[in-house]
């Protein structure tokens, strides 16, 4: 607890269709706060759901995002936008970062950080 306020825990789980299911800890237990396909929506969804559940805007939020189950280190991916200076959109996964971000290395332009909605795994 920080300044006697509860830390509101939020978990993000990927669905089989690669959407993100946001689960928020409420005073009566965890509850589904919604689905999104956009990583940048996670904070907003978590804050809105926590505000509704706890009836306050003053609280710290701790968000834990699962590792995307359909990709692993070395997975070949196609980026939705070609990196500047690249002649092709293909890269490979080199690591995972907090908040659902993925470290990707493009052979022509180097490393970049991407959200899961910014690439497609090549089968």
Mean pLDDT in each 10-residue stretch from start to end of the chain (123 residues)? 73 95 95 95 94 86 93 95 89 91 95 94 86
* Residue 22 sits in the same domain as residue 56: yes
Q: Would residue 57 count as lying in a domain? A: yes
* Residue 24 sits in the same domain as residue 46: yes
* Residue 16 sits in the same domain as residue 61: yes
* Residue 61 sits in the same domain as residue 86: no
Number of domains into which the chain is organized: 2
Domain that holds residue 16: 8-65
Q: What is the reported pLDDT for 85?
A: 85
What's the CA gap between 77 and 79, in Å, rounded? 6
Paired residues of 34 in beta bridges: 22
* Residue 40 sits in the same domain as residue 82: no
Which is it for the CA torsion 17, 42, 31, 68, positive or negative? positive
**Residue 17 CB neighbour total at 10 angstroms:** 7
* Residue 48 sits in the same domain as residue 82: no
């Amino acid at each position: 607890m920080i300044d006697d306020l509860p830390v509101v825990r939020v978990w993000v789980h990927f669905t089989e269709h690669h959407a993100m299911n946001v689960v928020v800890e409420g005073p009566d237990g965890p509850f589904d706060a919604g689905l999104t396909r956009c990583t940048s929506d996670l904070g907003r969804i978590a804050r809105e759901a926590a505000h509704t559940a706890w009836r306050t805007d003053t609280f710290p939020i701790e968000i834990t995002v699962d590792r995307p189950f359909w990709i692993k280190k070395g997975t070949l991916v196609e980026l939705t936008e070609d990196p500047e200076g690249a002649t092709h959109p293909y890269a490979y996964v080199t690591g995972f970062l907090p908040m659902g971000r993925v470290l990707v290395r493009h052979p022509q332009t180097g490393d970049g950080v991407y959200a899961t909605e910014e690439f497609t795994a090549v089968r």
